[in-house]
Structure 1
Amino acid sequence: MKALRHSLFEAIGDLETRAVTIRHELHSHPELSGKEEKTKYFLKGILEAEGIDVFGFEGHHGLVAQITVDPAKPYVALRADMDALPIEERNALPYASREKGVMHACGHDAHTAIVLGTALALNRMRDKLSGNVRFIFQPAEEVMEGGSSQMIEDGCLDNVSAIFGLHAYPYLPTGKIGYKKGVMLASADTFEIEIFGRSSHAARPHEGVDAILVTSMAVNSLNHIVSRQIDPLHPAVISLGTIEGGRAPNVICDHVRLRGTVRTVNHDVRRRIPEMMEISVKGICQSMHADYRFRYDFGTPEVRNDDAMVDFLVREASSLLGSENCIDLVDPVMGGEDFGRYLEKVPGAFFRLGTCNEIKGTCVAQHNSRFNVDDDALAVGMKVLGLLALGSM
């Protein structure tokens, strides 16, 4: 194993500059969820030029690449997400986004470059590998339906025994990783509520049913569900993101649409929340003589790491970084990640890759127009994923 590690690190050292260049190219040309066509062909060209098997799909822009040493053995999978966000970049970087209103503000460019770099490194030592590795380049992580379901339906987990993924994390310094056993990230669901009233002249509100007033009462009631109906030891978040309604200042509004998201880390709480929400809305509408329509869509599940896989991750990462640089994050985060769908199918672990460098200004939170990743973190991610792949064979 010592000789394998040396070969891996040597290959990564040779490829580090190339990985950074790839990341900068991806950052300059971001593509939104479901539109990652140029990204797909860019990656496909690099992988095929290195002699790595690559497979595309008809219904989406995902890619699967793999190194097959022994067809009788299963694969260990490494996953990256490729899509960007509808954010206008405000960084003055030579590789800043050239696409107006689109930006890699969550680090997916780094994730892709890291997994691609790991693939290139492992391919250089193919003759020394004892097992198979699959590299999943997933589209559409940033949308609630999540591209992981499409990838799974198309067989990306067939004959996979374990899966690993990472996420850039500006809350940890470069050179550290964060891990957590059990639930690491929340499930992410969406809902839509429509309130139907009856319009009238604003000077004669008693002749109508004010959908805006009914909505305000419903919003207040929804915000009490978490604080008064759910065990405080089981975190949950109900957030309204949009409210649309009304046509004129002198007309009582007859229709309002609300949309939002629900985050939970407990299966039972997640299952019960839609009923709680509808009971609240229904009761208020009945008391105010309004009608309603309620729609709830279950999105991505929580990211629930396999404990044994986390132990394996920590052991391998500690051998590289030192145990003091492997941080137990302790508490789950209410953000979502569709990596959870993979973990429902096969054991694996998702971890945080520290990318904060105060001098370089890479400690800005994700989904911010000034977010950036410390390029020095790419080699760290490649080494950790490479070790996980080698150790899983």
Structure 2
Amino acid sequence: MLIPTNIITETIQTRRYLHQHPELGAAVYKTVGLVEQELRALGLEVHPNIGKNGLYADLNVPNAQKRIALRADMDALPIQELGQKKYQSTINGIAHMCGHDAHTAMLLGAAKLIVQHKDQLQHNIRFVFQPDEENIPGGALPMIKDGVLDGVDKIYGQHVWPTLDTGKIGLCTGPTMGQPDILEIVITGKGGHAAYPHSTIDPIIIAAQYINAVQAIVARNVSALDAVVVSFTIIEAGTAHNIIPETVKLSASIRTLSLEVKADLKKRLHQLLESVCAAHSASFDFNYINGHA
């Protein structure tokens, strides 16, 4: 099936408009307004205010055998966009850097195409637009609690991927996108003057040892057949160049594809921190925040 040129053009225009007007989290009011307007113009049965500002629309056909859902996310990221594109983000400090503008535009384009061929459908179609994908626990669960998946037999999502050639779709067997969790740690030692490190318990040294040792867990305690990523992305410590601080705050992004691997990893991360801190007579706070599952 060839996609009509006008739908391709409109999809590109919608994506660029959304790119210029990004919104964060569940506060995607302008985006939702645009999506709802487009869906109603197609004559679809629209259900707004689902979960945290989500919505869905139904296309129902006679004698339908199943209901298939297609899903896109709508929120942007708190990132400053660089460059000089004509459709640059117009909102300071907010930009669509994960492709959700494309996802939303593509699903609207798919809705237009499917409506044109609704007489060929054997199943009802539900178009789902989710806010707050970037945050934990995210916007999916509130939508599910509000019934977005009631009566749905299968649901499909997609994600743009910059390494794929234009016009190609990538598929693989099994889990593909890792569940995102957050690890927050505070290591507490004993501060003091940098010239007298022997009289302190240096939390920076402890944090460095822990960060390096965590990668050994990933490399040696997790099967090579299981995918795990632990990336420390925030390290906060100190107020002056000549003072050893009392505390260090760490934050890491964790990705796993298996609940069993996740449970074992969480246990090992805690055990490792406990042992490293004990070796230096330091204390710690360990906060593992479960992601979307």
With normalisation by structure 2, the TM-score equals 0.91
Q: What is the alpha-carbon distance in structure 2 between the residues aligned to residue 208 and residue 27 of structure 1? A: 50
Give the aligned residue type for 1:241.
Answer: T
2:5 counterpart of 1:17? no
How far is the alpha carbon of 1:59 from its aligned partner? 4.9
How far is the alpha carbon of 1:226 from its aligned partner? 1.3
2:182 counterpart of 1:190? yes
Q: Which residue of 1 aligns with 2:144?
A: 152
2:163 counterpart of 1:167? no
2:204 counterpart of 1:212? yes
Compare 153-162 and 87-96 and name the one that shifted more.
87-96
Q: Which residue of 1 aligns with 2:242?
A: 250
Q: Which residue of 2 aligns with 1:133?
A: 125
Q: Which residue of 2 aligns with 1:108?
A: 100
Instruction: Answer yes or no: is the 8 Å Cα contact 2:51–2:146 preserved in 1.
Output: no
2:35 counterpart of 1:46? no
1:238/1:51 Cα in 2 relative to 1: closer, same or farther (>3 Å)? same
Q: Which residue of 2 aligns with 1:232?
A: 224
Trace 1:18-33 onto structure 2 (pairs within 5 A).
Answer: 18-33=10-25
1:138/1:30 Cα in 2 relative to 1: closer, same or farther (>3 Å)? same
Trace 1:293-372 onto structure 2 (pairs within 5 A).
Answer: 293-300=285-292
How far is the alpha carbon of 1:14 from its aligned partner? 4.3
Higher relative contact order by CA 8 Å / sep ≥ 6: 1 or 2? 1
Compare 176-185 and 16-25 and name the one that shifted more.
16-25
How far is the alpha carbon of 1:115 from its aligned partner? 0.9
Q: What is the alpha-carbon distance in structure 2 between the residues aligned to residue 283 and residue 149 of structure 1? A: 36
Percent of aligned pairs with the same amino acid: 38
Q: Point out where structure 2 has 5 or more consecutive residues left out of the alignment.
A: none
Which structure shows the higher helix fraction? Answer: 1
Compare 86-95 and 26-35 and name the one that shifted more.
86-95
Give the aligned residue type for 1:244.
Answer: E
Q: Point out where structure 1 has 5 or more consecutive residues left out of the alignment.
A: 302-393
Q: Which residue of 1 aligns with 2:265?
A: 273
Q: How well do the aligned residues superpose, as a CA RMSD in angstroms?
A: 2.1
1:71/1:208 Cα in 2 relative to 1: closer, same or farther (>3 Å)? farther
Q: What is the alpha-carbon distance in structure 1 between the residues aligned to residue 12 and residue 212 of structure 2? A: 48
Q: What is the alpha-carbon distance in structure 2 between the residues aligned to residue 203 and residue 39 of structure 1? A: 56
How far is the alpha carbon of 1:241 from its aligned partner? 0.5
How far is the alpha carbon of 1:19 from its aligned partner? 2.0
Q: Which residue of 1 aligns with 2:27?
A: 35
Give the aligned residue type for 2:253.
Answer: T
Name the SS for the 1:86 alignment partner: coil
1:99/1:175 Cα in 2 relative to 1: closer, same or farther (>3 Å)? same
With normalisation by structure 1, the TM-score equals 0.69
Compare 282-291 and 199-208 and name the one that shifted more.
199-208
